[in-house]
Amino acid sequence: MTFDRSPLEWIDGRIPVFAPCSAADRANSRYDRDFNVPDVYTGIAYGHRLFGDGSAEGLYRTMSALLLASAPKTVLDLGCGVGRVLYDCAPALPETQFAGLDLSYNMCRRSVQLLNGLDPIPLPGLERWGRPNIVFSEPRQLPNVKIAQASALNLPFAPLTFDLVLATLLLCRLPDPVAGLAQMIRVLRPGGRLLLATPCGFNTAEPWSQFVPPERLREHLSILGLRIDEWFENLTYREVIDAHGNAHDWRVRVIATTSLV
């Protein structure tokens, strides 16, 4: 599993960058404007370890179970965020090569700390939410995981690279979800699996007509050469944001497919 182009720059000398963002762009990004933001998402994604809170576990364990059941040899976690699915699955499949991609510089940094690190990770960004002195003390060293910064709309891989592609909570965040889905299929091998989980929180009108009515989406996936293996609605994903338990709830659609082309 190799990139099909050279990185345009590097983050901290170790994370390849394929979609560089200016300092101004990062300052305006909800994920990159402040390194405390990854602290918050680390608290959400790893809440079971940090606080004994299982609110997000239904989603992450569902995606991990679907991945592990496929026993793939190459995996792309697109929009990997703070790397929760990689953290769970890469140790269980040590012969599998995993690539985690995210557009956010800070999410990539945090993923590397969690997945290729030794040192405990202080999370000072959680103090403002009533959780002071929180430290993630269980980083992992996973030699079968590579993290890169890249756009989901221009993946730095040749066609037919991966046995499995997953996108957890990504599709509705893309400026062009249709183009993003096409990129996922482009890098997927025949017989490979595409796993999607989305709360369908689209910000523009067009995707609602293409992705939200189940019949339209089923037809769209079929035209793209995907067989639907599993589909279910309304998996609750809860982002607990503070020590009082205030939270955002998302109704997530989960789809597991196989490429027939």
Domains in the chain: boundaries: 9-259
Query: Quick one: tokens of 33?
Result: 């404007």
| Number of residues assigned to the chain | 261
Which residues 6+ apart lie within 8 Å of 163 measured at CB? 70, 72, 73, 74, 75, 189, 192, 193
Cross-strand bridge partners of residue 259: 226
CATH number of 9-259: 3.40.50.150
Across 161-177, average pLDDT: 95
pLDDT at site 214: 87
**Could you tell me the pTM of the whole model?**
0.96
Distance of CA 110 to the CA centre of its chain: 13
Other beta carbons within 10 Å of 233: 11
Q: What is the dihedral of CA 48, 103, 179, 204, to 10 degrees?
A: 80
> What's the pLDDT tens digit per position in 57-67?
999 999 999 99
- 106 and 32 in contact (C-beta within 8 Å)? yes
Question: Which segment of 30-34, 72-76, 183-187, 238-242 scores lowest on mean pLDDT?
Answer: 30-34
Query: Quick one: tokens of 156?
Result: 């730095």
